[in-house]
Amino acid sequence: MRIGILSDTHDRLVRTRMAVEMLLEAGVEALFHCGDLTGPDIVHACVGAPAYFVFGNNDDESLLALRRAMAEMNAVCLEWGGEVTLAGKRIAMVHGHMTRDLRPLQQARPDYLLSGHSHMAHDFREGPTRRINPGALHRAAEFTVAVLDLDTDELRFLPVPK
């Protein structure tokens, strides 16, 4: 099973739609958004596969509208952080700006811990947990999203055109 990971879209609707299209063309079966959506249109742009969302530090003023959009789309809202299991893998997700949200997820030692916030892509291991940040679609030197194959553990970063 392949999942698509994106973050820090900051209401960049055209770029987000392009990124989602790229992820779907890469064969993803679920989308994970690591926060800083900033508006409900971004939720609506994440169509074509089951979607999971967390809130980021720039989502405070839109929480009600974001929750409503997620409910309309039958998406999973993990609030400020949470964990799901897909294809036998435990996938935790948090935006990453608050250690009180991050620390419990780290301590649970999931297979994957997805985060955003830094606007910089990264991939490293922390004990048994693989930490992945897909990069950002706003305020980044290069706009990127990521495709993770849960069966093979292969990760690819995809550049998204400006």
Q: Could you tell me the mean pLDDT of each successive run of 10 residues in the chain, 162 residues long? A: 98 98 98 97 97 97 97 97 98 91 93 97 97 97 98 98 90
**Distance (Å, rounded) from C-alpha 26 to C-alpha 19?**
11
pLDDT at 98: 82
- Domain-by-domain residue ranges, the chain? 2-159
Cα distance from N-terminal residue to C-terminal residue, the chain: 28
pTM exceeds 0.75 for this model: yes
Superfamily for domain range 2-159: Metallo-dependent phosphatases (3.60.21.10)
Q: How far is CA 141 from CA 46, 119, 135, 138, 161, in A?
A: 23, 9, 10, 9, 11
pLDDT value, residue 128: 96
CA distances from 87 to 4, 10, 13, 46, 90 (A): 14, 30, 30, 21, 9
